[in-house]
Structure 1
């Protein structure tokens, strides 16, 4: 709160009354100081009749013109009893538009002054609260638009890549439905943390749970890391592709097969996040004659995170190692 009463003891008297009631107030003793404190964020302005000079009114008018559209600065004006209030109020409104004028005639009782200040400040606080609410709603609207676009882009990518690698409509339907279900599982986990960072352990369990229906055949190990939401989607869908491939052709297609998933952070010049997938006990694996959807997706996902993915089709089973900068995936 700013007090500008340049003559006599009005400024100090008002300040003592208001600070005694628990308010914070700054007194401007002259026009130069008034201009200086006015440049800061003012919650309320108290001006005496003596402070209503042409220059001070110009300064206030300039400040009011620069305030946000939603703002309405409360201004308490102290006038002598001889002044005609209606004429004074009308003139001041012309000079200080977009303000909440409160006209008081001197002498003003301390209780009346503190009550007026309290009411005006409460109204000012509600202005800022409403402005923050509107800004938050606008931000949420843009965030929702961004998320929907990301989801649609993911679905479109899944559709295109699945169609390209499907032998017929039945094959496409089964593969596409499975990938959509995996994407749904990812978003369920992300939704529970409001699309912020997500625990890697929880995410891995959500994706791999369907592949451990009868017995635990996929074992995941590693310290729980917090992943950023976008990298979490890429990692989760990569794991789904690996698990699906293992169930169709690899270790999970055999009753004796099993999969080990582990992750770690390698320290060094620029820490690296490393995710490894290792299959064993399944049928003998031969390198594929063509690059399938899963392989392309995993490599593309790693590349988008400034890393790389190495897939090795050994006779014992598929071995995958994904290495990306930790800064690209971890929420630290």
Structure 2
């Protein structure tokens, strides 16, 4: 069973009731039931109150003048697609309810209109508001789900493009060294399989731990074949968590892709030094460095690309501090360090 929504998750209510002290009375009663509420004046400050984005609007018959209707309509027209603002209209029994309903439905098409006649039992009003606060919460949850889905699609699109870039690079590297079609097909298939192994080992691992050396080896193996090492790797073996292994593999993939496109691996003589180490200063510490050399002269880009942003964010989250990224003229460099405990449950004190 899902837990009930907490008060902090729910929206707030704007009350427009200019007659006598109706607004203060309604607001006080709602506060007694832990509903966040603001009693607004039907004047020039109404626009400011509406810009604070109330989740629900409660409006009495007396507030339904042309100016208020127009201002609420303008507010509703600015709502995003996911938002359908509940508006509870409190009418007098003698009011021409059908006509008012028709007029407001035409004036406020972007709302969820609910009509009550007065007098209304306070608990009935509270129950109606609470129900619509939950409706509003569901709307926001749908919004969050749509935004998350959009982010995932963008991320998937970026990953696919990077994978295709890697496949293209592997093909070009293989073609340059192949003497026959058979050699080309064999070597290219082997390198694609190595790339596939990274996804198999890291993303579909059944356990919770993975060898860092295995992760790194599988990630760089398509670029170190046939006795030619483009990425020189050194470092002690260490068992890391699945999440840490996944993050490191993704970051290496971004670094390799960028090096292929713009850095050391874009030229035949370029290479990369990839190293990690363990120390015991101030407790067990882990450090990892990526240093490129032999490529084109490096200039810091005017705009940070997605890959660099991802590496900064992912390694920063993994190690608790941002990596050091240097656009040195002789070659791009990236380094990060932090407590071993952030990536591994292995005891490295012994």
What is the aligned partner in structure 1 of residue 322 from structure 2?
none
Partner SS, residue 180 of structure 1: helix
* TM-score, length of structure 2 as denominator length: 0.62
Q: 1:148 matched to which residue of 2?
A: 160
Q: Distance in 2 between matches of 1:19 and 1:108?
A: 17
Secondary structure of the equivalent of 2:39?
strand
Give the corresponding residue for 1:263. Answer: 276
Deviation at 1:172, TM superposition (A): 2.3
Which residue of 321, 324, 335 maps to 1:326?
Answer: 335
In structure 2, what is the Cα distance between the partners aligned to 1:301 and 1:191? Answer: 33
Matched, 1:117 2:126: no
Q: CA deviation at 1:90?
A: 0.9
Distance 2:90 2:290 in 1: 71
1:48-59 matches, cutoff 5 A: 48-59=60-71
For residue 7 of structure 1, report the CA deviation from its aligned partner: 2.2
TM-score by length of 1: 0.65
Matched residue, 1:220:
235
Task: Please identify, of 89-98 and 179-188, the stretch whose mean Cα deviation from structure 2 is larger.
Answer: 179-188
Structure 1 pair 228/31, CA: closer, same or farther in 2 (3 Å)?
farther
1:190–1:115 CA distance, 2 compared to 1 (3 A)? same
Corresponding residue to 2:145 among 133, 150, 159: 133
1:22 paired with 2:31, answer no
SS of corresponding position for 1:8: coil
Deviations 1:169-205 (A, max 9, x none): 3332332222112211233355359xxxx99556225
In the aligned structure 2, how far is the partner of 1:131 from the partner of 1:112?
A: 29
* CA-atom RMSD in angstroms: 4.0
Partners of 1:222 and 1:262 within 8 A in 2 = no
Could you tell me which of 10, 16, 20 is aligned with 2:22?
Answer: 10
SS in 2 for 1:23: coil
Task: State the SS of the aligned residue for 1:100.
Answer: strand
Q: Does 1:182 align with 2:206?
A: no
**What is the match of residue 227 of structure 2?**
none
Q: Aligned equivalents of 2:76 and 2:52: distance in 1?
A: 12
Secondary structure, in 3 states, of the residue corresponding to 1:325?
strand
Q: Identify unmatched segments of 5+ residues in structure 1.
A: 212-217, 239-260, 266-271, 277-296, 311-321
Counterpart position of 2:94: 82
Structure 2 portions without partners, runs of 5+: 1-12, 225-232, 260-273, 279-286, 299-306, 309-325, 337-341, 343-350
Q: Distance in 2 between matches of 1:176 and 1:150?
A: 17
Tell me if 1:229 matches 2:250. yes
Whose Rg is larger?
Answer: 1
User: Helix, strand or coil: the match of 2:235?
Assistant: strand
Distance 2:186 2:293 in 1: 20
- The count of aligned residue pairs is 258
* 2:73 corresponds to which of 58, 61, 84: 61
Do 2:195 and 2:218's aligned partners in 1 also have CA atoms closer than 8 Å?
A: no
- 1:122-175 deviation digits (Å, cap 9, x = unpaired): 222222222222222222223222222221221111112211111223332332
Distance 1:69 1:219 in 2: 53
2:42–2:68 contact (8 Å) kept in structure 1: no
- Matched residue SS, 2:82: coil
Q: Give the corresponding residue for 1:160.
A: 172
Preserved contact between residue 4 and residue 28 of structure 1 (Cα < 8 Å): yes
**Deviation string, structure 1 residues 99-143 (Cα, Å, up to 9, x no partner):** 111111111101110111122222222222222222222222232
